Structure 1
Amino acid sequence: MDSMTDSSTENVPALPPLEGAERLRAWWHLMMTDHGFVRSIYLNKHRVSDELWRSAQPSPWHLERLADQGFRSVLNLRGAEEDNYRYRLEREACERLGLQLVSLPIRSRNPLKPEILKQAIEVWDKLEAPTLMHCKSGADRTGLMSTLYLHLVKGVPVREAMDQLSLRFGHLRHGRTGIVDHVFEQFAARHDETGISFRDWAETEYDPDALQAGFRADWFESLIVDKILRRE
C-alpha cells in the first residue's frame, strides 16, 4: 500500500475482531515471526522532541503504557496491510485505547517515491502530539523521518538532524540502508550551493533514480542488515 491512511477517520473500513485461534496466531506472528520477543526486552525507544518519540514496532502492551503516559497518536511507517496480523493487533489496540493511528509506508533500501516523500513532508500536520513513530526495528525508517521532522518542523540544520541516523539507534550507513544518508547528503550539498529549501528541492530537483545510481553500498554491512538483522 503506497497511500497514507488514518485509522481515526470514518472512511477507513472496520476490520473484524481477532478471536480464538486467529488471535493466538496473530500473537505468534507478532512475537516470533516478527521478532516481537526481542522488542519485549528492548523497544529501541528514544525521544526526538517533546512532541515526538521513535521506536521499534510496539506490541499492544507497549501501546497500553504509551496511552497511560499521555501519548495521543502513533505513526506507523510499516504500512496498513489489513491481512497482516501485526497491523491488525496494532490497529485494534489503538482503537481500544483512543490513539490516533496514521500509517505511512516507507522503505529504507531505495529513495522514496516522489509521492511518498511529499506525504512524509506533510504528515506532521496530521498528528496529535505527543506521537510515537515506529518502523520494525526503530533504526532506519524512523531515522529518516526523525531527520526530516527535526529539519522541517524544528528548523534544525539537516546535517545536525542527521544525528538521528546513527549506530546508536542501530542504523548502518554503509549498507543498503545508507541510501537514506546519501539522499540527505545530496540535499545538504545543494543547499550549501544554492540555499534551496528541502521542500523546494523535493518538488523541483529530487530525482530518485539518479540518487540511487549515485549510491554504492558496502556488501558486508548490507549482509548484516539484510540477512542477519533481517531489516525490512
Structure 2
Amino acid sequence: MLTRFLRPEVRRARRMARIARWSEPIAGPVSRFRAWTNMLIVDHGIFRLAYLNRHQVSEHLWRSAQPMPHQIAWFAARGVRTIVNLRGGREYGSWPLEQEACERYGISLVEFILRSREPPDRDTLLSAEKLFRDLQYPILVHCKSGADRAGLFAALYLLGREGCSAGAAMRQLALRYGHFRYAKTGILDAFLELYRTEGEARGLSFFEWVERIYDPQALQHTFKAGFWSNAIVKEVLSRE
C-alpha cells in the first residue's frame, strides 16, 4: 500500500484520526452502514463472512478471526462470556460493531494486545498470568485473521493455565490455521521452541522461564524470516 511511503508522523496522524472516528458509538442507520462498509472492505471482513477460522481449543477457549455481530451471537449462544481482542483494531468499523454486539449479548470485551512479527514482550507475557485468572470463561480470543496472534494466545493459555506441554501448545501455530512459520510470523514458533529447550527441558514452568530466563532481544537477533514467505503473509494475505 502507498501509505508505507508517507512520513511516520503523517502515518501516525492518519491512524489517530481513524481511531477517533471509530471510537464513537454507532448512532443511526448511516453510521451503521459506514461501519459495516469499512469492516467488510477496508478491514477485509468480506472474507470472514465465508470463513471465520473458528476453532474450539478446549472446553473454555475458542479462537477465531475478527467476528462480526451475527458471529458474536453464535458464540453467545454457546455460552461464551468474554471476548479477548488481540488486535488493538480500533481504527476500523469492526471495533464499534464488536462493542455493540458484546453489550447486546452480555459478553465482556477485553483488549490484550499481541504482536505477530516480533518477540512477545516479557511484561505482556507476565500480565497474561493474571489475565487468565481474572477472565470469565468460556472465552473467545481473536485477532484479524485468527492465524498468528490468536494461535500465540491459545498456546500461552495452554501453557500457563492448563499446564500443557510446549509441544501441545506449538500445535496452535500451524498451517491449518493459516500460520506461516517461515515468514516473520515464525518468530512466534521460535519463541515457543525457546521455552521448550530453555525452560521445559529444565523443569521450569512457562511463567518461571519468562521471568527468570527469557531474553526477547536475543531471540530477535537470531531469528531470520524467509523473504518469499514473508511477502505472502504481508502483501498477499494483508496480515497485521
Q: TM-score, normalised by structure 2?
A: 0.86
CA distance in 2, matches of 1:192, 1:143: 19
Residue-pair matches, total = 218
Structure 1 range deviating more: 148-157 or 175-184: 148-157
**RMSD between aligned residues:** 1.6
**Unaligned runs of at least 5 residues, structure 2:** 1-22
CA distance in 2, matches of 1:165, 1:197: 20
Structure 1 equivalent of residue 233 of structure 2? 225
Cα shift at 1:127: 1.7
The letter of the residue matching 2:161 is V
- 2:86·2:113 contact (CA, 8 Å) conserved in 1? yes
Structure 2 equivalent of residue 175 of structure 1? 183
Cα shift at 1:140: 0.3
- Equivalent runs, 1:46-65 vs 2, <5 Å: 46-65=55-74
Structure 2 equivalent of residue 99 of structure 1? 107
Cα shift at 1:72: 1.2
- 2:39·2:92 contact (CA, 8 Å) conserved in 1? no
Quick check: 1:160 aligned with 2:145? no
CA distance in 1, matches of 2:100, 2:41: 19
CA distance in 2, matches of 1:205, 1:18: 50
| Percent identity between the two aligned chains | 44
1:111-149 deviations in whole A, cap 9, x for unaligned? 122222222333212221111111100000011011111
- 2:200·2:206 contact (CA, 8 Å) conserved in 1? no
1:151-206 deviations in whole A, cap 9, x for unaligned? 22111111222111110111011100000000111111112552222111111222
- Equivalent runs, 1:62-77 vs 2, <5 Å: 62-77=71-86
1:42 counterpart (29, 38, 51): 51
Cα shift at 1:15: 5.1
Structure 2 equivalent of residue 30 of structure 1? 39
Q: TM-score, normalised by structure 1?
A: 0.89
CA gap 1:190/1:70 in 2 versus in 1, 3 angstroms: same
Deviation beyond 4 Å, 4+ runs, structure 1: none
- 2:87·2:113 contact (CA, 8 Å) conserved in 1? yes
